[in-house]
Chains A and B, each alone.
Chain A
Amino acid sequence: MRVLLVEDDADMAENLRASLAADEHEVEIASDGEQGHSMAANGAYDVIVLDRMLPKKLGVSVVRELREQGVSTPVLILSALHDEDHRVEGLNAGANDYLGKPFSTRELLARVRALWHGRDRDVQTRLQVGDLEMDLLARTVKRGGKKLDLQPREFRLLEYLMRNSGQTVTRKMLLENVWDYHFDPQTNVIDVHISRLRSKIDRDFAQSLLHTVRGSGYRLEA
């Protein structure tokens, strides 16, 4: 996957480049907002990772202008200002995800992959992973043809996992996308929700679909 990284801090850029490259991405780096904008507008990238505070042009302006020009490449904004207002401002400008500093490398890699894989999935009305099927219109879930009874929140949790199937999703991604919570709970709250969901979708079946990725999060995969 080709990733454009727009980051003015050279050390930070090099660290991120190394991590992305280790995750088998091809990375190009722009060191200010204007350069980032022209590279994003002219090059073919799968994902753009954009720092919010950039010299010459702010990350938010870069996204807004790209969207106005019809560039729909998924954008992840990185920001030290992990404030509700700034997050909303970034998403309104057209960014697809927003990650506050400091973040772990695993968190960033998971989000970059999720952005790329998730870009066309919003229009789907049926999701399928192995023999697990979700009908988004009827709001029903079946595994191996057998109907599963899920609570509304469990349904949304599973929907998010299915949309990102094959990808690692972090606890933070689940918190933000399933619950819309933007703080870190200090207990194992997410893990318990996952284990309850797992008991519903995996318990009676030989093959497990919902896997724990140690140190990172979870992955739904057939």
Chain B
Amino acid sequence: MRPSLALLRTTTFRLALAQAGVVLLFVVALLVYVYFATIGQLVADSDILADQEYAALERAYAEGGIRRLNQEVVERSAGQGPLLYVLAEANGAVVTGDFPQLPAVPGEAVQRVDFSFETTDAEGAPQRSRARGQVGRLLNGPILLVARDLGDSAVITGRITRVLWTVAILGVMLSVASGLTASWFASRRVEALANTARDVMGGDLKRRAPVRGEGDEFDELAEAINAMLDRLERLMIVSRTAGDAIAHDLRSPLTRFRQKLEGALEAPEDSRNDREALRKALEEADNLLDMFAAVLKLARVESNPNWRLEPINATEVLQELVEFYEPAAEEQGRTLRGEIAPGLIVKGESGLFTQAVSNLVENALKYTPEGGHIDLSAVRRPDGRIEIAVLDDGPGIPPADRDRVLERFVRLESARSSPGAGLGLSLVAAVARLHKGGLHLRDGLSNGEGKGLGAALVLPAAAA
């Protein structure tokens, strides 16, 4: 497709063409109106005037014969009025009047004539003028012509008409030109967006649509497209790295699994030894299955748009969770306390909500040293959203690593020794996103050695 032709196909250009058509129609309508308001009126007036004069002269001829008529014509044509007269013999030879020759030949009956003639202007220069009137043969043959000089009025209306036509042509040209320009600009912006889309499809995921900073509709579109591309790129990176991470994380437990089975096979037959190897292999298999279950759950939370979000009595669920974990925390030498505001209703999916908070509590239990404290607090924030925070006085997470640990499979070096697949916090973050809320990591309780970790789950409240 040639660019110039492409330009003619744009919506903007079609709109401009339509606009040019409207301008043209308007000018034609204006022309018709001006014609009837000026020339039309003038012609009608002069016809009446000429007819009356012709009738008056006809009466004079009837009363006083050719002599009287001749005299009247001579007198009247000498006057300053706008009327022109010619009296001629039956053969057409002019007797008297404003023209040396008959400007129009009469027919059998009295008829309307419209003719142009040579005259002189105020400075004596020759110019064409136009006249309109009646010509006819009187009784016994003489020819009488009475016409009105349309003169200046015709010139003026002619000019008006020319001006209007000029305006029409200019208007149409301007419309087409502005349409072409507008569509050229629009095409260029659209082309830039289309190029971006094509580049991204071609594999350049980093490519973004240009934003000019003019805040116009194209910028708005470009920004929306860029936001979409950012999200897509993140998802692609996440799924790509998740694939790598799954392969990587599965390799070590699978290798251990294989080693145990192989070792048991190669060792001399000893049923106690065999049973121990089988027990360990089973443990590894359970770890693997747990990891798969976690990956599947995360995938389901992230990819299934059909979760039903319903009002959940968060106060009750959280109190039950504290009650559920408190004995185990105490047994492990940690203090778990709940400070839960009454009457908190969250809009969410009950099972996922419970699991998300339980993940936070378990995370805190896992990383808080013996003697540590864990607080589960829940409040309604001033903005109406509900914040559920699990704070501990464990080692915490350095601020620089906080965003990273929310990604799946990310485990900090310090956590390598403890069990887990690095999916706990990613699941909480995914659940938060599903609920149109967020998971924020910050400092926790400051009474321990480290800064502690505070994990705040912010979720929308259900409409009361």
For residue A179, which residues in chain B have a CB less than 8 angstroms away from its CB?
320, 324
**8 Å CB interface, B333-383 against A:** 349-351, 354-355, 358, 362, 365-366
**Across the interface, do A187 and B290 meet the contact criterion of CB distance under 8 Å?**
no
For residue B328, which residues in chain A have a CB less than 8 angstroms away from its CB?
187-189, 191-193
Residue in B300, B350, B358 whose CB lies within 8 Å of A83? B300
Residue in A183, A192, A196 whose CB lies within 8 Å of B358? A183
For residue B450, which residues in chain A have a CB less than 8 angstroms away from its CB?
none
Is A153 located at the chain interface by the 8 A CB criterion?
Answer: yes
Query: How far in angstroms is the closest Cβ of chain A from B280?
Result: 13
Is B45 located at the chain interface by the 8 A CB criterion?
Answer: no
**Across the interface, do B325 and A186 meet the contact criterion of CB distance under 8 Å?**
no
For residue A193, which residues in chain B have a CB less than 8 angstroms away from its CB?
324, 327-328
**Across the interface, do B355 and A102 meet the contact criterion of CB distance under 8 Å?**
no
Bound state CA distance, A182 and B349, in angstroms? 13
**8 Å CB interface, A71-91 against B:** 82-85
Count residues on chain B whose CB falls below 8 Å from chain A CBs: 26
Query: How far in angstroms is the closest Cβ of chain A from B165?
Result: 75
With known contacts A83-B300, A84-B349, A186-B420, A181–B325 Cβ distance under 8 A: no
**Across the interface, do A84 and B327 meet the contact criterion of CB distance under 8 Å?**
no
Bound state CA distance, A82 and B355, in angstroms? 14
**Across the interface, do B362 and A181 meet the contact criterion of CB distance under 8 Å?**
no
**Across the interface, do A185 and B358 meet the contact criterion of CB distance under 8 Å?**
yes
Query: CB-nearest residue of chain B relative to A103?
Result: B289
Is B199 located at the chain interface by the 8 A CB criterion?
Answer: no
Bound state CA distance, A185 and B321, in angstroms? 11
Is A120 located at the chain interface by the 8 A CB criterion?
Answer: no
Bound state CA distance, A84 and B301, in angstroms? 12
Q: How large is the interface on A (under 10, 10 to 19, 20 to 34, 35 or more residues)?
A: 20 to 34
**8 Å CB interface, A148-195 against B:** 153, 179, 181-189, 191-193
For residue A185, which residues in chain B have a CB less than 8 angstroms away from its CB?
324-325, 358, 362
Query: How far in angstroms is the closest Cβ of chain B from A151?
Result: 8
For residue A82, which residues in chain B have a CB less than 8 angstroms away from its CB?
293
Residue in B325, B355, B420 whose CB lies within 8 Å of A189? B325
Residue in B300, B350, B362 whose CB lies within 8 Å of A187? B362
Query: How far in angstroms is the closest Cβ of chain A from B50?
Result: 98
**Across the interface, do B331 and A188 meet the contact criterion of CB distance under 8 Å?**
yes
Query: CB-nearest residue of chain B relative to A188?
Result: B328
For residue A104, which residues in chain B have a CB less than 8 angstroms away from its CB?
286
Query: CB-nearest residue of chain A relative to B418?
Result: A186
For residue B362, which residues in chain A have a CB less than 8 angstroms away from its CB?
185-187
With known contacts A84-B351, A183-B358, A189–B324 Cβ distance under 8 A: yes
Query: How far in angstroms is the closest Cβ of chain A from B370?
Result: 14
For residue A192, which residues in chain B have a CB less than 8 angstroms away from its CB?
327-328, 330-331
Bound state CA distance, A193 and B326, in angstroms? 10
Q: Which residues of A contact B (CB under 8 A)?
A: 82-85, 102, 104, 153, 179, 181-189, 191-193, 196
Q: List 12 other contacts, CB 8 Å, given A82-B293, A189-B328.
A: A84-B349, A102-B289, A183-B351, A183-B355, A185-B324, A185-B362, A186-B420, A187-B365, A187-B366, A189-B327, A191-B328, A192-B331
In the complex, 16 of the A-B residue pairs with CB atoms within 8 angstroms, ordered by the A residue number, are A82-B293, A85-B308, A102-B289, A102-B293, A179-B320, A179-B324, A181-B358, A185-B362, A186-B362, A186-B366, A187-B325, A187-B362, A187-B366, A189-B324, A189-B325, A192-B327
In order of increasing CB-CB distance, the 8 nearest A-B pairs are A192-B327, A189-B328, A84-B351, A192-B328, A183-B355, A192-B331, A102-B289, A187-B328
